[in-house]
Structure 1
Amino acid sequence: MSTWANLGLQNSASPLMEQLIFFHDHALLILVMITTMVGYLMFMLFFNNYTNRYLLHGQTIEMIWTILPAIILLFIAFPSLRLLYMLDEINEPSITLKSIGHQWYWSYEYSDFKNIEFDSYMIPMNELSNNEFRLLDVDNRVVLPMNSQIRILVTAADVIHSWTVPALGVKIDGTPGRLNQTNFLINRPGLFYGQCSEICGANHSFMPIVIESIPTKNFIKWIMNNMNN
């Protein structure tokens, strides 16, 4: 991946992440406009020869530079609040996944089905295949159906962890003794990588997350195979 690609957000794989990217671009455009205007005014000061020793106040300009920033902040605040409520909304989930953070691995439970639970450990470097990613691939992936509303319940068994998958726009803390929840919908098949984004100890960097999104009929087959085993 190029340097410029690393500076941006990951390609979205969910409607929520698309909205996050739109809001990022919206806020960035406003910041560029403000920076350009302030930079231009500062630059022009170097070439301004006009002085006024008797200028004591300027109420008109003070009103403008007080009201105008307030209006600009509203253009940022309203889309931000809308998006915040969208991220917290739970929309009649089709499947519930429970994720438990440990030092330093994740445990998963499919609450809608019996006896489907497993631990997910990072694959050591000396066991990686040629098509696997260092420090990102795991021995047991989370398999989820695409185009289905997913609810995830996150907690932790020891210290605070954070279940984060950037491509899905999901970041939620796992706190011992507390159950947090959020939702997402994956709109395309593929592998989506994440990591714990809370500093949870010495091996904090070695508990990755891998989501495998597959069509619903393939997910049903996967569920049946695991229930039979």
Structure 2
Amino acid sequence: MAHPTQLGFQDAASPVMEELLHFHDHALMIVFLISTFVLYIILAMVSTKLTNKLILDSQEIEVVWTVLPAIILVLIALPSLRILYLMDELNDPHLTIKAMGHQWYWSYEYTDYENLGFDAYMVPTQDLTPGQFRLLETDHRVVIPMESPTRVLISAEDVLHSWAVPSLGVKMDAIPGRLNQTTFMVFRPGMHYGQCSEICGANHSFMPIVIEAVPLEHFENWSALMLEDA
């Protein structure tokens, strides 16, 4: 989860988020180089005779400021297309979960199991126990097996919502009457927190998402207990 005074992204917990972090650093370095180069040109034009008409009308300069941006766009486009390919639909996920947005809570259904589903409400501040986080904890957590491809089908019952978990690199809109989907795979155990990222009404900031990644045998035990309770 995020920490006080944190400036960068959360630690990656999925391969896609790792790629997004690398792409962010890559694009940021390109922006830094462009900014430095433009600043240098501005200072040089102010302090030297680069404003000479023969220099500004040079064909070589026109070629450079046409070709150079094209090269920069290619350097940005190629890694971004690679990430889009990695985020593409999974053909054979190990687990499928349906997430439905409501005002103002999430309901989940494990479609591979019969009668395995629950609503997830935010835990009020007065009910929090030591170690839980205000505005981020829910009464039911979405438990998934780690190192297993997971597909989430996302929709909404009333208004627009958005199912987002930053550490997993996941953000997908929940639209009434439309079924969107996203896929991810968590490679380390632990808790991963998210929130609705669409302004969906008065209690928009009170519908958090909690993903708990556990080893496969623990997930099987949890699902068996949930089915018994159902």
State if a TM-score over 0.5 links the two structures.
yes
Name the aligned partner's letter for residue 141 of structure 2.
Answer: R
How many aligned positions are there? 227
Pairing 1:37–2:70 present: no
CA RMSD of the aligned region, Å?
Answer: 1.5
1:48 CA displacement: 1.1
Cα contact 1:91–1:149 (8 A) shared by 2: no
Partner of 1:106: 106
Cα contact 2:50–2:56 (8 A) shared by 1: no
TM-score, structure 1 normalization: 0.95
How do residues 36-185 of structure 1 correspond to structure 2 at under 5 angstroms?
Answer: 36-49=36-49, 52=52, 57-185=57-185
Name the aligned partner's letter for residue 96 of structure 1.
Answer: T
Name the aligned partner's letter for residue 134 of structure 2.
Answer: R
How do residues 197-212 of structure 1 correspond to structure 2 at under 5 angstroms?
Answer: 197-212=197-212
Structure 1 moving runs of 4+ over 6 Å: none
Post-superposition Cα deviations, 1:106-130, rounded to whole Å, max 9, x if no partner, equal 0000000111110000011111112
Partner of 2:8: 8
- Distance in 1, Cα, partners of 2:51 & 2:169: 53
Gaps of 5+ in 1: none
Post-superposition Cα deviations, 1:31-58, rounded to whole Å, max 9, x if no partner, equal 1111111112222233214663666722
Name the aligned partner's letter for residue 82 of structure 1.
Answer: R
| Secondary structure of residue in 1 paired with 2:133 | coil
Cα contact 1:161–1:200 (8 A) shared by 2: yes
- Distance in 1, Cα, partners of 2:207 & 2:166: 15
- Distance in 2, Cα, partners of 1:116 & 1:225: 10
| Secondary structure of residue in 2 paired with 1:140 | coil
- Distance in 1, Cα, partners of 2:126 & 2:59: 70
Residues 42/123 of structure 1: CA separation in 2 closer, same or farther (3 Å cut): same
Gaps of 5+ in 2: none
TM-score, structure 2 normalization: 0.94
Name the aligned partner's letter for residue 34 of structure 2.
Answer: I
- Distance in 1, Cα, partners of 2:96 & 2:107: 14
Pairing 1:228–2:228 present: yes
| Secondary structure of residue in 2 paired with 1:7 | coil
Cα contact 1:165–1:195 (8 A) shared by 2: yes
Partner of 1:219: 219
